[in-house]
Structure 1
Amino acid sequence: MTRLGTGTRLGTGIGWRPEIADAVERMPGIDWVEAVAENICPGHLPASLLRLRERGVTVVPHGVSLGLGGADRPDEGRLTALAERAEALGSPLVTEHIAFVRAGGPPTASAPLEAGHLLPVPRTRDSLDVLCENVRIAQRALPVPLAVENIAALLAWPGEEMTEGQFLYDLADRTGVRLLIDVANLHTNHVNRGEDPAEALADLPLEAIAYVHVAGGFERDGVWHDSHAHPVPRPVLDILTDLTSRVTPPGVLLERDENFPEPAELERELASIRAAVTEGTRTRTAPRTAGTTTSGGGTTTSGGGTAIVGGRTAPVAGRTAPVAAGTAPVVGGTATVAAGATTAGGGSTPAGERAVAAVPDTTRRRLALAQTALLSALVAGTPAPEGFDRARIGVQARALAAKRADVVAKVAPDLPLILGGGYRAAFMAYAQGHPMRGGYRRDALDFAEQVLLDGPPMADRARRELRGWWLDRSGPAPRPRSWWARMGRSLIRR
Structure 2
Amino acid sequence: MTAAVPRPQTSEVVPVGIGWRHPHHAELLQRQPALDFVEVHSENFFAPGGAARAVLRQSREHYPVSLHGVGLSLGSACGIDGTHLDRLAALVAEIEPVRVSDHACFARGPMSHSPAHNVHASDLLPTPFTHQALDAMCDNVQRVQDRLRRPIAVENLSAYVRWRANELAEPEFLNTLARRTGCHLLVDVNNIFVNALNDRLQGSLQDPMVACRHWLDAVEPGAVAELHLAGHVDCGDIVIDDHGSRVVPPVWALYQHALVRFGAVPTLIEWDTDVPPLQVLLDEASTARDHAGQALETAAA
Q: Is the 8 A contact 1:92 1:144 kept in 2?
A: no
Residue 244 to residue 250, structure 1, CA distance change in 2 (3 Å) = closer
For the 8 Å contact 1:155–1:192, the answer to whether it is kept is no
Of residues 23, 30, 42, the one that matches 2:27 is 23
Residue in 1 that maps onto 2:58: 51
Give the partner amino acid of 1:102. R
Does structure 1 retain, via aligned residues, the 8 Å contact 2:14–2:292? no
Equivalent AA in structure 1 for residue 28 of structure 2: V
* Kept after mapping to 2: 8 A contact 1:156/1:193: no
**TM-aligned CA deviation for residue 271 of structure 1:** 1.6
CA 1:172 to 1:264, structure 2 compared with 1: closer, same or farther past 3 Å? Answer: same
Answering whether residue 40 of structure 2 is matched by residue 35 of structure 1, we say yes
By how many angstroms is 1:168 displaced? Answer: 0.9
Write out per-residue CA displacement over residues 437-476 of structure 1, whole angstroms, 9 at most, x where no aligned residue: xxxxxxxxxxxxxxxxxxxxxxxxxxxxxxxxxxxxxxxx
Distance 1:119 1:23 in 2: 34
Decide whether the 8 Å contact of 1:165 with 1:202 is kept in 2: no
Work out the percentage of aligned pairs sharing the same amino acid: 33
Which residue of 76, 80, 90 corresponds with 1:74?
80
- Counterpart CA distance in 1 for 2:32 and 2:106 is 35
Q: 1:193 to 1:31 in 2, by over 3 A?
A: same
CA distance in 2, matches of 1:262, 1:92: 26
Structure 2 counterpart of 1:207: 222
* Amino acid of the structure 1 residue aligned with 2:18: I
The equivalent residue for 1:378 is none
Post-superposition Cα deviations, 1:369-389, rounded to whole Å, max 9, x if no partner, equal: xxxxxxxxxxxxxxxxxxxxx
Q: Is the 8 A contact 2:260 2:299 kept in 1?
A: yes
Matches within 5 A, 1:67-466: 67-105=73-111, 109=115, 112-194=118-200, 196-284=211-299
Select which of 12, 15, 18 maps to 1:11.
Answer: 15
Contact 2:156 / 2:188 at 8 angstroms: preserved in 1?
A: yes
Tell me the matched-pair count: 279
> Aligned partners of 1:237 and 1:137: how far apart in 2?
35
Larger relative contact order (CA 8 Å, sep ≥ 6): 2
Secondary structure of 1:269's partner? helix
Check whether the contact 1:103–1:112 (CA below 8 A) recurs between aligned residues: yes
Indicate the RMSD between aligned Cα atoms, in angstroms.
2.4
Q: Distance in 1 between matches of 2:119 and 2:84?
A: 17
Cα deviation code 1:82-114 (max 9, x no counterpart): 111111112133111110112233798498543
CA distance in 1, matches of 2:58, 2:119: 39
Q: Is the 8 A contact 1:209 1:249 kept in 2?
A: no
Q: Which moved more, 1:258-267 or 1:117-126?
A: 258-267
TM-score, normalised to structure 2's length?
Answer: 0.85
Which 4+ stretches in 1 moved above 6 angstroms?
Answer: none
Deviation at 1:139, TM superposition (A): 1.1
Which structure's CA Rg is the greater one? 1
Instruction: Indicate the SS of the match to 1:261.
Output: coil
Contact 1:93 1:144 in 2 (8 A): no
1:148 Cα deviation from its structure 2 partner: 0.9
Q: CA 1:204–1:264 in structure 2 vs 1: closer, same or farther (change >3 Å)? A: same
